[in-house]
Structure 1
Amino acid sequence: MSLDSQVLDRPISQNLPSVEANLTYLIPMAEKLINYTYEPPAGIPRSNGTYQTHKLPIYNARSISKNILLDREGFAFTRHQTHVSNFYDEDEVRRVYYPEAEQLLKDVTGATQVVIFDHTLRNAGQSKPGENNIKEPAKQVHNDFTAKSGYTRARRELAAQGIENIDTLLQQRFAIINVWRAIAQPIQESPLAVCDAQSIGPTDLVAGDLMYRDRVGETYGVTYNSQHQWFYFPQMHRDEALFIKCFDSAEDGIARFAAHTAFEDPTSPADAPPRESIELRTFVFYPA
């Protein structure tokens, strides 16, 4: 499937309602970007990157959600009822939500196999670094994987799950797709914005080392480009799901990387409760 013939600056944002908000971009840098997932040794900053905010329109995509394609814009949206009663219950998430999301991804993408390898809960009111695994919303424009780390993370996680024929699997087309959802009341504070992958230039993506205590990953920081087109789905609730393409092994014009970030919504009430959300990270394997 090739999308080369499509116009990259498709006016899909035309006539859509929007909010104006500050998005935090990486400033171009000469050295390799390094970010730590933990408190680094004394004298070393958590990140050696410097960042700058740009005030941009973020378009309400609800009215065009059926026209947005995961393989073109790099994200997609659907209604999907979950039977999870408590997303803070680790066992219930793995026992109930993982199979729900696996089937949903197969339905949405036509995948032959889906492997869920990670999930993250976000709630600024409950996040206690070092004490629990709940994180705050990420408020810098980024993409979770790079053209390199998509493969290295896949090999690592598939091996950890005891999956056989890894070399064969990684020779066919696969993608890393996040499944993002509200887990409590409708989201008002720190909603998620997603950038149309077709509006992102190759030089906008800056590979950076992501330092863990036991390994080094790689993610993309993103530098500002006036062509970027940003979208969100306001007031998302727990029976809606947003898909974000963070990597695709296909290199024939299909969307590969959809940058994203939380942002401060200027229409959010001052007393809005902290955003509560979950994102699953998944490998999606397409028919050979």
Structure 2
Amino acid sequence: MPSATMTLPSEPTTMFFYLEVKDGGIIQTYPGTAFEKRRKHVLHDVTINDMRSIREDFNVNNAGFELVEHKTGVKDFGSNEEIEKVYYPECKELIKKVSGASEVHIVSHMCRKSTFAEAQEDAKVKSDTDFVTKNNPARFVHVDQSYRGAEQIMYLNLPEEEVERRLKKRWAIMNVWQPINKPVKKDPLAFCDYRSIDENDFRTVIANLPPPGAGEYGNVSKNLPHKKKVAEYSSNGERSAVYEVTNMAHNPSQKWYYASDMTPEEAWVFKIFDSKKDGRARCAVHSSFPLKGQDDHSDPRTSIELRAFVFWDDEETE
């Protein structure tokens, strides 16, 4: 971990942490809905350090996240066809390079091109179950799947026989996050260094995905039916999928980092899950956050986030 005596540039901000159930918090959520946008959190003042000058101190195995150079060949991020044809193969090779994995299977991607304020305004005029069409930076502390939820999402996206085989070797879920078309001047992505995390602060929330095709979040998972697993992993029926995600309660020992002025030639590679239990980082807790003085109504941050299963043929599962 970086030296405690080292002074880095930093951003004072307020972050959204898990609100305990006894205080009115929730254990189930519905991504992409007005209910999710109106969800209550606990706000804490946090100092987020700029790790750019010491970026070599952070990697996917010690901290859970890594800043890398990555110039994409994608010309039009409005075309899912071009993203799948160009960006997916690029990210497969990028993740292999960073992780040393044998194989990478892309699950899905999501582009964010709206502001936090736009999404909040959209949610105001909708009922809880209505979908919010404005896809904004996620401004709450989370990991996309819990450790159990990682297995759930794999069963929802790969043939059951393949999952059973993959579980016998080391596997992981990793994401690639990259700015689109312009540098990041608002709502950058921040990470909590895994070395500063107490997993007792993790809180499990059940995510109820919308059906396939229902907005961006409806395309996060393929929601494959499984004879053995349908009750556990698709308990909302065939039209939607259920899996666990991780939120986190605030702890003053948590150390937060971001990279200032990210450009479209850079990307974050970070872990959602790693089956290895040998002391390395198993996930990267993250959230976007507002820079001091930023205008929430101004030009939105634009970014793409890609999700992938990662496999090692030559390593044991734990």
Q: TM-score range by the shorter chain?
A: 0.7 to 0.9
Aligned-pair Cα RMSD in Å: 2.6
Matched residue, 2:261: 235
Question: Contact conserved, 2:33 with 2:132, CA < 8 A, in 1?
Answer: no
Residue deviations 1:161-201, cap 9 Å, x none? xx963312122111111100001210111111111011111
Residue 167 of structure 1 aligns to a residue whose secondary structure is helix
Normalization by structure 2: what TM-score?
Answer: 0.79
Structure 1 runs not aligned, ≥5 long: 1-8
Question: Contact conserved, 1:210 with 1:216, CA < 8 A, in 2?
Answer: yes
Matches within 5 A, 1:56-135: 56-124=46-114, 135=135
Matched residue, 2:27: 33
Separation of aligned partners in 1, 2:53 and 2:63: 15
Question: Contact conserved, 2:33 with 2:131, CA < 8 A, in 1?
Answer: no
Runs of 4+ in 1 over 3 A off after TM superposition: 9-13, 45-50, 125-134, 267-272
Q: Residues 235 and 143 (structure 1 numbering): CA distance in 2 closer, same or farther, change over 3 Å?
A: same
Separation of aligned partners in 2, 1:51 and 1:233: 25
Matched residue, 1:3: none
Residue 157 of structure 2 aligns to a residue whose secondary structure is helix
1:270 is displaced (CA, Å) by 7.5
Q: Residues 223 and 270 (structure 1 numbering): CA distance in 2 closer, same or farther, change over 3 Å?
A: closer
Of residues 14, 19, 22, the one that matches 2:14 is 22
1:269 is displaced (CA, Å) by 6.5
Structure 2 runs not aligned, ≥5 long: 124-129, 211-239
1:38 is displaced (CA, Å) by 4.8
Matched residue, 1:221: 247
Question: Contact conserved, 1:34 with 1:49, CA < 8 A, in 2?
Answer: no
Which amino acid in structure 1 is aligned with residue 269 of structure 2? F
Residue 116 of structure 1 aligns to a residue whose secondary structure is strand
Q: Residues 82 and 150 (structure 1 numbering): CA distance in 2 closer, same or farther, change over 3 Å?
A: same
Matched residue, 1:175: 172
Is 2:190 aligned against 1:202? no
Residue 166 of structure 1 aligns to a residue whose secondary structure is helix
Which amino acid in structure 1 is aligned with residue 163 of structure 2? I
Q: Residues 47 and 223 (structure 1 numbering): CA distance in 2 closer, same or farther, change over 3 Å?
A: farther
Which amino acid in structure 2 is aligned with residue 156 of structure 1? L
Question: Contact conserved, 1:122 with 1:278, CA < 8 A, in 2?
Answer: yes
Is 2:282 aligned against 1:262? no
Question: Contact conserved, 1:35 with 1:210, CA < 8 A, in 2?
Answer: yes
1:133 is displaced (CA, Å) by 6.9
Q: Residues 141 and 270 (structure 1 numbering): CA distance in 2 closer, same or farther, change over 3 Å?
A: closer
Which amino acid in structure 2 is aligned with residue 67 of structure 1? D
1:272 is displaced (CA, Å) by 5.0
Question: Contact conserved, 1:27 with 1:52, CA < 8 A, in 2?
Answer: yes
1:155 is displaced (CA, Å) by 2.1
Matched residue, 2:222: none
Q: Residues 28 and 14 (structure 1 numbering): CA distance in 2 closer, same or farther, change over 3 Å?
A: farther
Worse overlay, 97-106 or 63-72: 63-72
Separation of aligned partners in 1, 2:32 and 2:139: 17
Count of matched residue pairs: 273
Separation of aligned partners in 1, 2:185 and 2:20: 32
Normalization by structure 1: what TM-score?
Answer: 0.86
Separation of aligned partners in 2, 1:149 and 1:12: 34
Question: Contact conserved, 2:19 with 2:26, CA < 8 A, in 1?
Answer: no
Q: Residues 284 and 266 (structure 1 numbering): CA distance in 2 closer, same or farther, change over 3 Å?
A: same
Is 2:149 aligned against 1:149? yes
Worse overlay, 13-22 or 245-254: 13-22
Counting aligned pairs with the same residue, the percent is 30
